[in-house]
Amino acid sequence: MSLLSACATSGYKSASGTDIDAKVYTDAQRRVVDEKIPEPLRADFTALYSEGQQNSVLHSMHGGLTALRMGEYGIAKRLFDGAIRDVEALQAGSAQARRAAGNFVGDREKWFKGESYERSALYFYRGLLYLQDHDYGNAAACFKRSELEDITGDDAPGFSGDWYSDELGLALASWFNGYPADADAALRRAAKYQSIQGQVPPPTARTNTLLVVEVGIGPIKYAAGRYREQLRFHEDTPATVSVRAEPPGASSLSAAAENLYFQATTRGTRQVDYILNGKANFKEGTGVAAAALALGAVAVADSQRGRRHNDTAGLASGALALAAIGAAITSSLTTPEADTRAWNNLPHSIFLLNLTLPASTVSVTVSGLDAGGRVTQSIAVPLNNGKPLRIGYVYLNN
């Protein structure tokens, strides 16, 4: 018994629901302190260091966005780059992926790489950080790759690669990189997307300030269906439907450039949905078989009640009972539950305000507006001195 408990658990569970070894967890906590990770990021880094590859992308995505909002851009880049490396590596986690496709291993045990909208968001945010560094080539590459990650099933053909915000980012990067034709092409593509949320003033060759306004809570994953085999999303709709920036001498009003709930729910049927559906059918089939075998065993036993020394019938009844137990165990071990691990600090909507401001402007007031035009929140956003493009970030919780 003492040996079986040799792997003392920390009391913490990974995002996949597995126990984390106490020593591994303590070492991770120590490493976070040694590396002087800022307090608000310590939970992400502890999870990152203690849960291994299974959830490294998940915690890197979450921590990266937290770091970006804190202004810890170096940490944000490091985390996003790590997540991109793991998402891009096609063979990474292939053994775990094969296991997860089996009937007896849960989908949440595969190495997390996110759903399409999460992978697109990963590249989108990395693109913003490249823009901020005035590395317009890599910024454009990230916005293009973000569109490529937005794949859909055959039943949702009009929704692949339709991130409006990516095209705006690409246009901006292309202006600054000296490729106006690419900027025009990006804006022309964007104008045709079904993901458009309303009027969004596009960037121009004169844009020198980008405000990134995140609003609300992103898509909330949950599992539905008889065996929780279906991935579904809940929308927590924020009050803010438009955003206004009021720099001195100018103002700009914009609808959201991206609605992540829309992106999450226009994915269509995934390949993994067929796998999970197959598992659910298997679970149901083995469950039905177990019930039928159990009934058979009872029927045989009943038919022999009152008779003496009928070994054949007794054996048949026993065999049926054993088969029923086996089928029931098989059914109970089958795990068709959908993976609901989620990048859960993504916003509901992303607004991109492209402004042309005098170099002397040090801050901009950003106000969220509800459907009736009433102000929901108002925040002053400081601007850095970056030339030729300044970027400000703000998060509105509603």
| Site residues (vs another protein, CB under 8 A) | 3-4, 6-7, 21, 23-24, 52, 84-85, 88-94, 97-98, 100-101, 107, 110, 113, 126, 130, 135, 137-138, 140-142, 144-145, 148-149, 151-154, 160, 179, 270-272, 274-275
Find the shortest distance in angstroms from Cβ 86 to another protein: 8
Q: Is 329 left (phi over 0), alpha (psi -120 to 50) or beta?
A: alpha
What six digits make up the tokens of 155?
């039943």
> Quick one: which of 92, 97, 86 has its CA closest to 119?
86
Find the shortest distance in angstroms from Cβ 302 to another protein: 45
The residue ranges of DSSP E strands in 18-110, in sequence order, are: 19-21
- Count the neighbouring beta carbons within 10 Å of the beta carbon of residue 332: 12
Closer residue to another protein (CB): 97 or 289: 97
Phi/psi for 251 (5° steps) reads -150, 155
Q: In sequence order, which residues have a C-beta less than 8 Å from that of residue 52 and are 6 or more positions away?
A: none
Closer residue to another protein (CB): 168 or 369: 168
Find the shortest distance in angstroms from Cβ 143 to another protein: 9
Amino acid present at 307: R
What is the sign, positive or negative, of the torsion defined by CA atoms of 317, 323, 325, 328? negative
Closer residue to another protein (CB): 173 or 383: 173
Closer residue to another protein (CB): 22 or 298: 22
CA distance 362 to 244: 17
Find the shortest distance in angstroms from Cβ 107 to another protein: 6
Closer residue to another protein (CB): 276 or 346: 276
What six digits make up the tokens of 7?
């792997």
Q: Cα 55 vs. chain centroid, distance in angstroms?
A: 12
Closer residue to another protein (CB): 31 or 301: 31
Element containing residue 297 per DSSP (H, E): helix 271-303
Find the shortest distance in angstroms from Cβ 88 to another protein: 4
Q: In sequence order, which residues have a C-beta less than 8 Å from that of residue 253 and are 6 or more positions away?
A: 199, 201, 242, 243, 244, 369
Closer residue to another protein (CB): 107 or 258: 107
Q: List beta partners, residue 393.
A: 212
Find the shortest distance in angstroms from Cβ 318 to another protein: 35
Find the shortest distance in angstroms from Cβ 137 to another protein: 3
